[in-house]
Amino acid sequence: MSTALVTDLTIFVLALLVGIEVIGKVPATLHTPLMSATNSIHGIVLVGALLIGVTAHTVVGYILAFVAAVFASANVVGGYVVTERMLKMFRRKPQPQPQVQAQPKPELDGKSRS
Amino acid sequence: MSGFTGGIQLVYVLAAALFVIGLHLMNSPATARRGNQVSLAGMMIAIAATLVLMIHDGTVTGAGWIVLISGTLIGSAIGLYAARTVQMTAMPQLVSAFNSVGGGAAALVAIYSYIESESNAGGVLGTTTVFTLLDVIIGAVTFSGSIIAAGKLQGLVPSQPIIIKGGRAINVGLAVVAIGTAAYMLTTASLPALLIVVLASLGFGVMMVLPIGGADMPVVISLLNAFTGTAVAMAGFVIANWALIVAGALVGASGSILTKLMADAMNRSLANIILGGFGTGDSAVAIEAAADAHIRPIAADDAAIQLAYASKVIIVPGYGLAAAQAQHGVAELAKTLEDRGIEVSYAIHPVAGRMPGHMNVLLAEANVPYPQLREMDEINPEFARADVALVIGANDVTNPAARRPGNEISGMPILDVDQAKSIIVIKRSMGHGYAGIDNELYTDPKTSMYFADAKKAMADLTAAVKTLVG
Q: Summarize pLDDT for B100-118 with one digit per residue, the tens.
A: 999 999 999 999 988 877 6
Tell me, what's the pLDDT at B123?
47
Tell me, what's the pLDDT at B355?
87
Report yes or no on A64 lying in a domain.
yes
Report yes or no on B435 lying in a domain.
yes
Tell me, what's the pLDDT at B468?
86
Report yes or no on A108 lying in a domain.
no
Beta-carbon separation of B32 and A72 below 8 A: no
Question: Minimum mean pLDDT among B22-26, B156-160, B170-174, B418-422: which range?
Answer: B156-160
Tell me, what's the pLDDT at B121?
52
Tell me, what's the pLDDT at B108?
96
Q: Where are the alpha helices (DSSP H) in B277-323?
A: 289-292, 300-308, 319-323
Q: Is the pLDDT of residue B65 over 70?
A: yes
Report yes or no on A82 lying in a domain.
yes
The pTM for the full model equals 0.86
Under the banding of pLDDT at 50, 70 and 90, the label for residue B204 is: very high
Tell me, what's the pLDDT at A110?
41
Report yes or no on B283 lying in a domain.
no
Nearest to B139 by CA among B191, B221, B72, B204: B204
Specify burial of residue B271 (Cβ count, 10 A radius: 0-12, 13-18, 19+): exposed
Mean pLDDT of B26-38: 92
Residues B366 and B321 both lie in one domain: yes
Under the banding of pLDDT at 50, 70 and 90, the label for residue B436 is: low
| Other residues' Cβ atoms within 10 Å of the Cβ of residue B28 | 16
Query: Measured between CB atoms, does A10 come within 8 Å of chain B?
Result: no
Query: Measured between CB atoms, does B225 come within 8 Å of chain A?
Result: yes
Tell me, what's the pLDDT at B118?
66
Distance separating alpha carbons of residues B364 and B71, to the nearest angstrom = 35
Q: How far is B222 from chain A (nearest CA, A)?
A: 8
Beta-carbon separation of A32 and B91 below 8 A: yes
Report yes or no on B281 lying in a domain.
no
Choose, out of A1, A47, A50, the residue to mutate when testing the contact with B (most B CBs < 10 Å). Answer: A47
Nearest to B119 by CA among A10, A22, A55: A55
Q: Summarize pLDDT for B406-430 with one digit per residue, the tens.
A: 777 888 899 999 999 999 999 887 7
Q: How far is CA B439 from CA B98, B295, B380, B394, in A?
A: 36, 11, 18, 10
Mean pLDDT of B270-284: 55
- Give me the residue from A26, A36, A48 closest to B109, CB to CB: A48
Beta-carbon separation of B68 and A61 below 8 A: no
Tell me, what's the pLDDT at B228?
96
Tell me, what's the pLDDT at B421?
94
Question: Minimum mean pLDDT among A40-49, A97-106, B127-136, B450-459: which range?
Answer: A97-106
Under the banding of pLDDT at 50, 70 and 90, the label for residue B279 is: very low
Report yes or no on A25 lying in a domain.
no
Marked catalytic residue, from B135, B216, B396, B416? B396
Residues B237 and B355 both lie in one domain: no
pLDDT exceeding 90 applies to what percent of chain A? 50
Q: Is the pLDDT of residue A108 over 60?
A: no
Q: Provide the residue range defining the domain that includes A66.
A: 43-91
Q: How many angstroms from the chain centroid is the CA of residue B183?
A: 32
ipTM of the complex: 0.86
Residues B114 and B258 both lie in one domain: yes
Number of domains in chain B: 2
Question: Minimum mean pLDDT among A72-86, A93-107, B234-248, B359-373: which range?
Answer: A93-107
Distance separating alpha carbons of residues A35 and B41, to the nearest angstrom = 18
Under the banding of pLDDT at 50, 70 and 90, the label for residue B323 is: confident
Q: What are phi and psi of B86, to 5 degrees?
A: -65, 140
Distance separating alpha carbons of residues B313 and B215, to the nearest angstrom = 26
Q: Is the pLDDT of residue B360 over 50?
A: yes
Strand order in the sheet with B343-348: B373-375, B343-348, B312-317, B388-392, B422-427, B447-451
pLDDT exceeding 70 applies to what percent of chain B? 92
Question: Which residues, 6+ apart, have CB-to-CB distance to B123 below 8 Å?
Answer: none
Residue in chain A closest to B221 (alpha carbons) equals: A35
Sign of the Cα torsion B346, B352, B354, B357 reads positive
Residues B261 and B328 both lie in one domain: no
Torsion angle, CA of B155/B217/A46/B105, rounded to 10 degrees? -70
Which residues is B297 bridged to in the sheet? B449
Nearest to A95 by CA among A80, A107, A112: A107
Residues B134 and B262 both lie in one domain: yes
- In B366-418, at which residue ranges do the beta strands (DSSP E only) sit? 373-375, 388-392
Beta-carbon separation of B251 and A49 below 8 A: no
Say whether B339 is catalytic: no
Residues B206 and B338 both lie in one domain: no
- Work out the mean pLDDT of chain B and round it to a whole number: 87
Q: Is the pLDDT of residue B190 over 90?
A: no
Residues B313 and B355 both lie in one domain: yes
Under the banding of pLDDT at 50, 70 and 90, the label for residue B224 is: very high
Q: How many angstroms from the chain centroid is the CA of residue B30?
A: 23
Nearest to B412 by CA among B394, B393, B391, B431: B394
Nearest to B127 by CA among B119, B118, B136: B118
| Other residues' Cβ atoms within 10 Å of the Cβ of residue B408 | 18
Q: Summarize pLDDT for A23-71 with one digit per residue, the tens.
A: 888 888 889 999 999 999 999 999 999 999 888 888 999 999 999 999 9
Picking from B250, B274, B298, the residue at the C-terminal end of a domain is B274
Nearest to B380 by CA among B418, B423, B422, B415: B415
Report yes or no on B279 lying in a domain.
no
Report yes or no on A58 lying in a domain.
yes
Q: Provide the residue range defining the domain that includes B76.
A: 3-274
Distance separating alpha carbons of residues B461 and B83, to the nearest angstrom = 33
Mean pLDDT of B214-236: 92
Distance separating alpha carbons of residues B296 and B299, to the nearest angstrom = 10
Report yes or no on A103 lying in a domain.
no
Q: Say what angle helices A3-23 and B242-265 make with each other, to 10 degrees.
A: 40
- Give me the residue from B33, B254, B355 closest to A32, CB to CB: B355
Nearest to B415 by CA among B354, B348, B358, B319: B348
Report yes or no on A61 lying in a domain.
yes
Give A 54-113 residues with CB within 8 A of chain B: 54-58, 60-62, 64-93, 97, 99-102, 104-105, 108-109, 111-113
Under the banding of pLDDT at 50, 70 and 90, the label for residue B404 is: confident
Picking from B274, B304, B327, the residue at the C-terminal end of a domain is B274
Number of domains in chain A: 1
Under the banding of pLDDT at 50, 70 and 90, the label for residue A99 is: very low
Residues B93 and B230 both lie in one domain: yes
Q: Where are the alpha helices (DSSP H) in B267-316?
A: 270-274, 289-292, 300-308
Q: Is the pLDDT of residue B168 over 70?
A: yes
Q: How far is B433 from chain A (nearest CA, A)?
A: 23
Picking from B274, B309, B330, the residue at the C-terminal end of a domain is B274
Residues B33 and B155 both lie in one domain: yes
Q: For residue A83, what is the enclosing H or E element?
A: helix A59-90
C-beta of residue B303 within 8 angstroms of C-beta of residue B448: yes
- Between CA B132 and CA B137, with CA B133 as vertex, the angle to 5 degrees is 120
Under the banding of pLDDT at 50, 70 and 90, the label for residue A1 is: low
